[in-house]
Structure 1
């Protein structure tokens, strides 16, 4: 894979049944977005979902964001990656992460190791003794890197990083850590809502599942947010920083700020009321033209 287009989509695809997921993937492709990224967490299994999405589209790049290193051993991930690229003409991007201790230990029943050491060991096994590097176009692999040491590892061993729940300031720091040659693909939540109170309510609901997780919380503190700003679901400053809201111009300014800070690719995630099933399509249609 030599190039990833500038604008992509991130969405919690487990919200959809098969018919809805098929239609969503085709809509993302028809609107001209470069890539569709999807999570694993407690929803659809990552490799199976990747195969489905690739099978429903023709040109769209598809990326796991992220496949947990605790969900399958490195050999299975390598074979899955190879298989999906073989059947799709090289359209699959393997995004890997260390997940979070509660998910790994309570849900999967594994011991949660030291994140940096666990990821390094996994990437070493994933490459194998004589295979191409994980930055090779046939093996495009990313790390969900937030902190400085994980970003360094992404630079050293993979094609780049896919940070989540970040700001343009983090993008600036990540670019410095990765250097000019590695890919930096960042997720940005958006809410096309000019009523600030409603936008912040939706942002708080969207972020509540992430607030207790140390990986994200520690990163927000590194970025300069305070414990007071993170308390009680986050204050207005924090919510506005994490979920770009307002009219199209206001949201585009935040996405542009990521590009100015060094992002190669920004994947936007629509944030909306759960019962507003047409909201993702509306938002994606509104922002596709500034690809």
Structure 2
């Protein structure tokens, strides 16, 4: 849900077929409002699922909430995000997150000792590329000297996965959207929003809007709500950083 109270839909598990997410794409297309969100899918890649939907004629806004930075270089992340925008014909939110330290360990030479620095480098490089400029830096975690080939496409907004105040402050300086997960309303209002505003003010820019995931399930006779919650968020509920 954004600051203007637009309700979107997030498919909360990793799909193994496009058919699993088609009902939600159809609903959004019929409604003519809202965005389809997917998290990081390691079964069928998130961006390829979005491209498949676009190829099937679903011209709806889409967003990742969030894909994981250790999986791809900022250049490839920018290409993937712009490709979804171009194929869908709608603005795309490219939500990025640093991933859990254990996931970083499994893919990187060493985990991000300074996640804020890693994500600032990543987001800044993506923004420069998507704005058509030359991204050039020799960073602590991400180095680049490149420019995207020109392509007409709807705009790409950069989202940053935000859980804690320091990341929110940084997001205020570099992101268009702060994407939160399993964050209560009072925590967003009292902790994250002020931190976003602080970072935005320091960078002399508007504060990012907030897109927060709220897990819901239809109440039906015989439905085990605890089981539904575990299927939708079990992996995160067991993670140390949550």
TM range (shorter): 0.7 to 0.9
- Bigger share in helix: 1
- The higher relative CO (CA closer than 8 Å, separation ≥ 6) is in 1
After superposition, where does 1:153-172 map in structure 2 within 5 Å? Answer: 153-172=170-189
Task: Give the unaligned 5+ runs of structure 2.
Answer: 134-153, 198-205
Q: Aligned pair 1:146/2:163, yes or no? A: yes
Which residue of the partner structure matches residue 72 of structure 2? 72
Q: Aligned pair 1:111/2:110, yes or no? A: yes
Cα distance, 1:19 vs structure 2: 3.0
| TM-score, structure 1 normalization | 0.63
Stretches (4+) displaced over 4 A: 194-197
Say how many residue pairs are matched: 210
Which residue of the partner structure matches residue 14 of structure 2? 14
Alpha carbon RMSD of aligned pairs, Å? Answer: 3.0
Cα distance, 1:28 vs structure 2: 3.4
Contact 2:64-2:95 at 8 Å conserved across structures = yes
Which residue of the partner structure matches residue 62 of structure 2? 62
SS state of the match for residue 67, structure 1? strand
Which residue of the partner structure matches residue 91 of structure 1? 91
Which residue of the partner structure matches residue 269 of structure 1? none
**CA distance in structure 1 between the partners assigned to 2:65 and 2:109 by the alignment:** 20
Kindly provide the CA deviation profile for residues 161-200 of structure 1, in whole angstroms up to 9, marking residues without a partner as x.
0101111112202222223742111100012327899323
Check 1:198–1:12 CA distance in 2 against 1; reply closer, same or farther (3 A cut): closer
Contact 1:70-1:110 at 8 Å conserved across structures = no
Task: Give the unaligned 5+ runs of structure 1.
Answer: 217-291
After superposition, where does 1:27-66 map in structure 2 within 5 Å? Answer: 27-66=27-66
Contact 1:74-1:126 at 8 Å conserved across structures = yes
